[in-house]
Structure 1
Amino acid sequence: MAGILDRRALWSSVLTLLVLPAQADETRTSKAAAQVIATVNDVEITAGTLDLVYLRRRIPDNRRAQLRGRFIEELIDRQLVSEFLDSRKVAASDAAVDAQLKLIEDLIRKRKEEPASLLKRMGYTRESLRAELSIPLRWRAYAREVITAEKLREYWGRHRNRFDGTQLRAGHLLIKLPPEATAAQVDAVREKLDAVRENLAAGKTTFTAATAKHSQAPSASTGGDVGFFPIRGKMHPTFADAAFSLKPGEVSAPVRTPFGLHLITITDRRPGQLSLEDVCNEVFARVAQDRRAELIAQQRKAAKIVRAE
């Protein structure tokens, strides 16, 4: 698990560094990069930091305005996690951070660049890059501290079908929505599906009859059948997550995906055969992810967060 997390952190940073020279003319001036876009407990987050996120994720210019708010919130979350780790005095191994930093500097030199010069153009010093590289390492150290084997077993017991290779067969009732749907349009469709769901619960109709009457999916005439699917790899993640949380015979509340709003029901199940030992890394990663989300929600309640207009 450590290797997976560490490599992701490293190569994310390497990608940022190595794409920068080709895009140097597109980066902000030093003055613009220093513009404060938010503060978290009086710690500044700058436009230059946001630009690095755009570069790292290869966001084209025409989508940056649309995604700006989301990425600022992610940077706020990162700062909250860093402050929490500071408060717990959680440190990363110097050797692990140094190893990642050395690899980055070696890659820069192979491109006939001087590391200090390139880092400066990015708005980094060697120490600030070390600090950024250390955040995921520090988080993992904390997670290893608080996520015990017992907690992994408890989580596995509650969510086993998400990890053991289980496949579900589902039916869905879809009412399509355009990507630019207004809140009023979404609410209208949601109300319609809520009414259908109430009729299903009252026994006034069947799921097969409801899909034939209301669904706009190609499977409307076959009870909305989508066949068997695992937790990941076939269906949209939001759809799959909702399906895997259902009990047999239960009909979901309306679920939003890029296709529209769905009602989902489970019609069959193929149990998986994997054990906790087989998927321990995946379970650990999910528990750590959930813990991070809980922590951020708690930290946000007490934090002083100011976003620039």
Structure 2
Amino acid sequence: MNKLIVPLLYLALTLFQQTAFSADKKYQNDVVATVNGKKILQEDISNRLSNFKDVDPDTLDTIKQEIIDQLITDILLEEFIDKQGLVVVPEEIEREIDQIRGTIGGTQSLEQVLTSIGSHMMEFKKSVKHSIALEKYFHDKLDDRMLEKFFEENKNLFNGESVKVSHILVDTRNMKTPEEYAQALEHIKNIKKEIDQGSTFDETARKYSNCPSAFIGGDLGFIQRKSNLAKSFSDTAFALQVDQVGGPVRTEYGYHLIKVTDKKEGSRIQFTSVKEKVRLEVLDAEILKLLDRLRKEAQIVAN
């Protein structure tokens, strides 16, 4: 599933639990932001926040900003699609939705998932429409020469090269002050010293790591260059030799020490065998460039 289609759906499925969140109704018509003169109301935000619980204020602020960013993106894309004269018929949207239904695991239906994040099918169909329209817009712009050039410059994204990693995490997500972050950094540096002085990585991870993987010595298994892990984490891991420990590395979760315990070399591959994967990778990159340009050109006012 393309990240563009349902970022809020992905957010809800992977990060948060649901419950009731009550916003004061008298503020529902307040204008949170305008995008090229089009209004985003507090009601638009509250509807999507209404199902998150057990979330600390800082995290809730982050979710709210994600929602606002997505609403801004929706407005910009709708304007762009209209301006370009891109047409998406209902049958195309329904076919895409049928495919998405098949990707949802567990017992929840697509409708239940949408309800759980304060969304609904009409809104979801709009996101799918945007995705299909962008596919059409870029279809003739991503020629084979462009794709093959990207492939030659980024073969390691497609050849299956992987490393087996373990890590130790000092979680900083609930930290607020520079002093707390400094203490966390000093803590993980001291952990690194213990390893350098002879403690095994496995034992040290079990003792100190804040990640659930601690009970198995921090083992995360094999990862590929293209993964859901932070780029700083992946880049460090692939730069290490087997049995080498790297870090501290900072991510949104905190500070990490990383150890590579095994490597699998990538296989020899031909462009034709991974052409569709290359196309999707380039398409995502081009969409991000387009969104960045649309934002820079737009008149966006936050209230």
* Contact 1:156 1:283 (C-alpha < 8 Å) held by counterparts: yes
Percentage of matched positions with identical amino acids? 19
Letter aligned with residue 170 of structure 2 = K
> 1:76 aligned to 66, 72, 75, which one?
72
1:134 aligns with 2:129: yes
**Partners of 1:301 and 1:214 in 2: how far apart?**
52
What is the CA-CA distance between 1:53 and the residue it aligns to? Answer: 4.1
Secondary structure of the residue aligned to 2:140 is helix
* Contact 1:177 1:186 (C-alpha < 8 Å) held by counterparts: no
Structure 2, unmatched stretches of 5+, are: 13-18, 100-117, 206-216
The range that moved more, 297-306 or 237-246, is 237-246
TM-score by length of 2: 0.59
Structure 1, unmatched stretches of 5+, are: 16-22, 104-121, 197-207
Cα root mean square deviation, aligned: 5.3
Provide Cα deviations, 1:20-66, integer angstroms capped at 9, x if missing partner: xxx9x9898998655432211111223343355457xx633746833
Partner of 1:257: 251
* Contact 2:74 2:127 (C-alpha < 8 Å) held by counterparts: no
> 1:270 aligned to 264, 272, 275, which one?
264
The range that moved more, 41-50 or 258-267, is 258-267
* Contact 1:92 1:138 (C-alpha < 8 Å) held by counterparts: yes
- Gap change, CA 1:209 and 1:301, over 3 Å in 2: same
**Within 5 A, what are the aligned runs for 1:99-248?**
131-169=126-164, 176-181=170-175, 182-186=177-181, 211-212=195-196, 218=202, 229-231=222-224, 236-238=229-231, 240-243=233-236, 246=239
> 2:81 aligned to 79, 85, 93, which one?
85
* Contact 1:231 1:244 (C-alpha < 8 Å) held by counterparts: no
Provide Cα deviations, 1:190-234, integer angstroms capped at 9, x if missing partner: 6999x99xxxxxxxxxxx97951599964669xx99686222799
Letter aligned with residue 282 of structure 1 = K
